[in-house]
Amino acid sequence: MDRFQRTFEKIRKEKRIAFMPFLVGGDPNPEKGLEILKEVAKYSDGLELGLPFSDPVADGPTVQAADTRALKAGVTPDKVFEIVKQLRKETDIPITFLVYANLVYQRGIEKFYKDAKIAGVDGVLVPDVPLEESGQFVQAAKHADIRPIFLITPATNKERRKKILREAEGFIYIVSVLGVTGARAEVEPRTIQLVKNLKQETDLPLVVGFGISTPEHVKTLRMAGADGAIVGSALIKYMEPYYKTPKELQKKLKAYLGAFQKASL
């Protein structure tokens, strides 16, 4: 049983939803980024890490700014792999990479997934590779015992969902809004309906991201039957003013993340 299976089996038994924050690896720099991840992991059921990239087409201004900070601090894929290795000494929760195809190609597809596995990564999502072009990525993922993660949006029709579900492992990433990442005011009704529809189509855990930004959103998703919630832009934006005061950030995160943790129950 892998980390995803253990985690989602546990949260289903506890009748709650998994809280899975997203952060850019190495933001605002490798040293601080690792310490932040260690702290965030204490309150989380899983983590999604973005590899810093110059053109993150699926991401809004907040994540783009985090990418820029990390890149200016000299963060490379190698450094993110090392961050994960160090993080693995502190936590055994599932870790997913969100990485753009250019970075995977540059390293070599097979090598990227092999290195990710060695570092301690459990799943990889490549958001700018459509299903029709994902063959090499899926093959490399499965060869390395990495779970290939796929996106399903409210615009994905049932036939296409079937094709995605045949390839996906680990969990299904439900995109709650059409557009880029970023905090939103509410969970849209069509997202709730998509969760309910997919519950009838797959046994894979359903994790919702893009725009999930408050504990109330997490409660809404839990009541709708989702298995997990990814909170990214809202968390990054919350932390930004405290990057230069680590002790204060640690104190603030305890209350902030605690509220999400409580909402997941």
Q: Which of 48, 67, 122, 227 is catalytic?
A: 48
pLDDT of residue 117 exceeding 90 = yes
Give residue 140's pLDDT: 98
Between 61 and 177, the higher pLDDT residue: 61
Question: How many domains in the chain?
Answer: 1
* pLDDT tens for each residue of 185-199: 578 899 999 999 999
Instruction: Please report the pLDDT score of residue 176 as a whole number.
Output: 87
Q: What pLDDT, on the 0 to 100 scale, is given for residue 181? A: 58
Does the residue 8 lie in any domain? no
The predicted pLDDT at position 184 comes to 56
pLDDT of residue 178: 61
* Overall average pLDDT of the 100-119 stretch: 98
Q: Is residue 9 part of a domain?
A: no
Residue 129 belongs to a domain: yes
Please tell me the predicted confidence (pLDDT) of residue 115: 98
Q: Is residue 186 situated within a structural domain? A: yes
Query: What DSSP assignment string belongs to 150-204?
Result: EEE-TT--HHHHHHHHHH--S-EEEE-SSSSS---SS--HHHHHHHHHHHTT--S
Mean pLDDT value across residues 134-152: 98
> Which of 27, 45, 59, 67 is flagged as catalytic?
59
Which domain covers residue 67, as residue numbers?
14-255
Handedness of CA 256, 258, 262, 265 (dihedral sign): positive
**59 belongs to the catalytic site:** yes
Q: Can you give the CATH number for the domain in which 109 is found?
A: 3.20.20.70
One-letter amino acid at 202 equals T
Report d(CA 43, CA 27) in Å as an integer: 19
Reply yes or no on whether the pLDDT at 182 is more than 70.
Answer: no
What is the residue-wise DSSP string for 5-21? HHHHHHHHHTT--EE--
The mean pLDDT value of the chain amounts to 95
Residue 208 domain-assigned? Answer: yes
| Average pLDDT of span 96-119 | 98
Note whether residue 241 is domain-resident: yes
**Nearest Cα residue to 94 out of 35, 163, 13, 10:** 10
At a CB cut-off of 8 Å and minimum separation 6, what does 147 contact?
2, 4, 122, 123, 124, 141, 169, 170, 171
For residue 160, what pLDDT is reported? 97
| pLDDT at residue 211 is higher than 60 | yes
What percent of the chain clears pLDDT 70, i.e. is strictly above it?
97
Evaluate whether residue 58 is within a structural domain: yes
Residue 260 counted as domain residue: no
Residue 27 annotated to the active site: no
- pLDDT of 142 strictly over 70: yes
pLDDT at residue 103 tops 60? yes
Kindly tell me if the per-residue pLDDT of 179 is higher than 60.
no
Give the pLDDT confidence score for residue 185 in this predicted structure: 57
Q: What are the backbone dihedrals phi and psi of residue 92, each rounded to the nearest 5 degrees, phi first?
A: -120, 20
